[in-house]
Amino acid sequence: MGIVDIVVLGNIINETIIFPNKTIGPVLGSPCAYSSIIMARLGRKIGIVSYIGNDLTKDMVEQFQIVDTEGFIPYKFTTQNNLIYHADGNKSVEYAKVTPVIEFEDIPDNYLKAETFYICPMNCEVIIDIPKKLYEMGKKVIVDLGGFGGTTSYNHFSIYTRRGKALIDHLCKYSTIIKLSEEDLKYIIPSMSAEEATQYFIDKGAQAAVISLGEKGALCQTKGQLAKRIEAFPPECEEDDLNLVGAGDALAAGMIASLDDMQNLEEAVVYGTAVASLVIEKKGGCVVERMPTSFEVKRRLSKRTSILSS
């Protein structure tokens, strides 16, 4: 594929999804899988660094045909988990098999020519020296905290613990953008509002922070500016037909894919919310045909007259 634009780091997952009324799977999952496929579908040249086993089905593997897979690390199995959606709206993750951690040396030399790196582990499997090294190389580094003590982590720890504070503060220091969900916030900074949390991340060194808020859209803040709330796009299907799996990953993928083309972070987050709105309206899982093209996103964006709210 040649030089890639964006590199995504984190393990793909052989996942079983458990809802209160049904079980689906095993299916392809993880922020790494969703975001890499979505960004490639949007026209970006994407490289992926992840362990992968021969336990994935042919159909799962074929979803990565639009992604550069030089960074796949063959292993005896793929990380396996149960993603559990609870009746109260929260979710949790149980791990059955876990692959080794991803180290800096696992990144192909060709990928180091990319300008943007999205670090989105499930369960702390990307060692924390990676964002530091990339940031010091002058790269744009986006870190998703969901897999660093947030929702998808097996062990949750907040900034009010010594380990949690050291980890989060380190990641902020070496991040261009910190990304997390409202649910992650409950684990990482449980006593702060979204606005207080974004300011905390910036105070600790991040250039910007973005929190996905589900049906409420997103909150974003850039260093030196006030936080801004971005409205979600209203769904164009019945609420019962919405497929929310992967929504937060879709928002992040759209934001990152559009960063270079937008005038500011807020516009990129708006683009991300448009991507997420299209993804949740389609049935299926982490498959190429579910993901929108850039044309579909532009058409969705054209329907909004006022996109920013303070």
> Mean pLDDT: which of 160-164, 245-249, 303-307 is highest?
160-164
Contact 195, 227 (CB under 8 A): yes
The two tokens of residue 272 are: 């991300």
pLDDT digits (tens, 9 = 90+) for 221-264: 999 999 999 999 988 877 777 877 889 999 999 999 999 999 89
Provide the Cα torsion 103, 109, 110, 112; round to 10°: 60
Which of 89, 75, 168, 155 shows the shortest CA–CA distance to 122? 155
Q: What is the C-alpha separation between 115 and 72, in angstroms, rounded?
A: 19
The two tokens of residue 190 are: 């449980």
Query: For the chain, what is the mean pLDDT?
Result: 94
Can you give the C-alpha Rg of the chain in angstroms?
Answer: 18
Q: What is the C-alpha separation between 174 and 181, in angstroms, rounded?
A: 19
Alpha helices for 210-258 (secondary structure H): 247-258
pLDDT digits (tens, 9 = 90+) for 255-287: 999 999 998 999 999 999 999 999 999 998 999
pLDDT digits (tens, 9 = 90+) for 71-100: 999 999 999 999 898 988 788 889 999 999
Q: What are phi and psi of 228, to 5 degrees?
A: -125, 140
- Side by side, which strands form the sheet with 23-29? 23-29, 13-18, 79-85, 91-97
- pLDDT of res. 305: 53
In one-letter notation, the amino acid at residue 15 is E
Contact 15, 39 (CB under 8 A): no
Residue 309 clears pLDDT 50, i.e. is over it: no
Which of 31, 36, 71, 73 shows the shortest CA–CA distance to 51? 73
In one-letter notation, the amino acid at residue 5 is D
244: CB partners within 8 A, 6+ apart: 214, 280
pLDDT digits (tens, 9 = 90+) for 2-60: 789 999 999 999 999 898 999 988 999 999 999 999 999 999 999 999 999 999 999 99
Collapsing DSSP to helix, strand or coil, 77 comes out as: coil
Task: Tell whether omega for the bond before 26 is within 30 degrees of 0, i.e. cis.
Answer: yes
Q: What pLDDT band is residue 1 in, cutting at 50, 70 and 90?
A: low
Residues listed for the chain: 310
Q: What does DSSP assign to residue 126?
A: B
- pLDDT of res. 278: 96
Which of 141, 116, 123, 40 shows the shortest CA–CA distance to 79? 123
- pLDDT of res. 132: 98
Collapsing DSSP to helix, strand or coil, 81 comes out as: strand
Q: What is the mean pLDDT of residues 121-129?
A: 97
Q: What is the C-alpha separation between 91 and 86, in angstroms, rounded?
A: 6
**Exposed/middle/buried for 7, CB within 10 Å: 0-12, 13-18, 19+?**
buried
- End-to-end, the C-alpha distance of the chain in Å comes to 41
- pLDDT of res. 98: 96
Indicate the angle between helix axes 162-173 and 129-136, nearest 10 degrees: 20
**DSSP assignments along 54-68, one per residue:** TTS-HHHHHGGGGSB
Q: Which domains does the chain have, with CATH numbers?
A: 6-300 (3.40.1190.20)
Q: What is the C-alpha separation between 166 and 156, in angstroms, rounded?
A: 14
The dihedral region occupied by 214, where left means phi > 0, alpha psi between -120 and 50, and beta the remainder, is left
